[in-house]
Amino acid sequence: MKNQKLTHNKQKPAWRSPCPIARALDIVGDKWTLLVVRDLVLGKQTYTELQSSPEKIPTNILADRLRRLEQHGLLKKRRYQAHPPRYSYHLTPKGQALGDALHEIVEWGLRYIPGSSTAGTKE
């Protein structure tokens, strides 16, 4: 059991259990990753666009989460400019499906967390 620490930078994470919730959390179980997925669902594509969200994700965390989402097959990046190289980020079907699964969380938040609102998310 000692070596079951998560190693997100390697290709194969050490899953904690076969439970699909546990495995999903092994990929996206933190305060930021699902917000990046949300923004990609909403149509944001570039690093600058992703950084502009109201939660103000720190740049190093954004870079790390984009890399992890790519490693886990939830997004693909495309180079849209050669000099200097610039990339845009796009959800794969796997990533899009996770985005779809977030709708239930949105409904839960809107119903049970006072003050939550979807207004302004695209600012």
Contact residues for its own copies, defined by CB under 8 A? 1, 15-27, 29-32, 34-35, 38, 53-56, 73, 94, 97-98, 100-113, 115-121
Task: Using the minimum distance from each CB to its own copies, give the nearer residue, 18 or 85.
Answer: 18
User: Could you tell me the CA-to-CA distances from 17 to 25, 32, 98 in Å, in that order?
Assistant: 11, 22, 20
> Residue 68 corresponds to which amino acid?
R
Give bridge partners of residue 8 from the DSSP assignment.
Answer: none
> Residue 56 corresponds to which amino acid?
K
Task: Using the minimum distance from each CB to its own copies, give the nearer residue, 9 or 80.
Answer: 9
Least separation in angstroms between CB 75 and its own copies = 13
Least separation in angstroms between CB 17 and its own copies = 4
Distance CA 16, CA 18 (A): 7
